[in-house]
Copies of this chain bind each other. A is one copy, B any other.
């Protein structure tokens, strides 16, 4: 006695956002990102994801070959397009303060407009999984580039003496704060917020506050260039 299920509901309203018109794959990504953020990767089951999407659990596997591949798609969306351009930025010459502003602005604006809640993706509990080792390596590359940028700023006298590893963690922490406070924001709002965050980051690092306006102006151009970089 197989009772036919009506797959489309529409009235449910899972409180999150309105997913009308989105593909199932896209709804899976958004549901998974929310659950990863609130319950962790290990604490999220594929059943919970499926329930939020309003399909049955095995139907997920038509769109993604494994649970880890859902996380990989989200990592590709966020980390995939920033790691290499920033590594290049750290090799470019010029003011380290302006380049750091440029990176923070660029990444903050991107994360604040992302439709996904990526907070759960950048914790050890997910990146230590063996099948995501490649993504862990790419995140390490990004972190190295940021620490290198800080080191250049210290060596050039633009920044106060500070442990570059500590500073890198603070900057990466700003990204996580951005993610958890705001996602899915409008472009205009995100641009304002990105300036606030990048300015705040520089205030903590810069030796002479009188250098800030210049770093902000030059950094805005660098952020713009990052946005157009071919990855």
**A-side interface mostly:** helix
Q: By the criterion CB–CB under 8 Å, are B125 and A39 in contact? A: yes
Q: Mark A107-130, 1 if CB is under 8 A from B, else 0.
A: 000000000000110011110100
A25 at the interface (CB under 8 A from B): no
- Copies held by the complex: 2
CB proximity of A120 to chain B, nearest CB, Å: 7
Q: Tell me the bound Cα distance from A120 to B42 in angstroms.
A: 12
Q: Which of A2-10, A15-23, A79-87, A91-99 contacts B (4 or more CB under 8 A)?
A: A2-10
A67 to chain B, nearest CB (A): 12
Least Cβ–Cβ distance between A108 and chain B, in angstroms:
11
Chain A 145-186 residues near chain B, CB threshold 8 A: 160-163, 165-166, 169-170, 173-174, 176-177, 180-181
Contacts of A39 in B (CB 8 A): 42, 124-125, 128
Q: How far is the CB of A71 from chain B (nearest CB, A)?
A: 12
A70 to nearest B CB, angstroms? 15
With A166-B3, A177-B170 already in contact, the answer to whether A124 and B200 are too (CB < 8 A) is: no
Q: Interface of A with B (CB < 8 Å)?
A: 1-6, 37-44, 119-120, 123-126, 128, 160-163, 165-166, 169-170, 173-174, 176-177, 180-181, 196, 200, 203-204, 209
A sample of 13 cross-chain residue pairs with beta-carbon separation below 8 angstroms, ordered by A number, consists of A2-B161, A3-B162, A37-B124, A40-B124, A41-B42, A42-B43, A43-B43, A123-B123, A123-B125, A169-B180, A170-B174, A173-B173, A173-B174
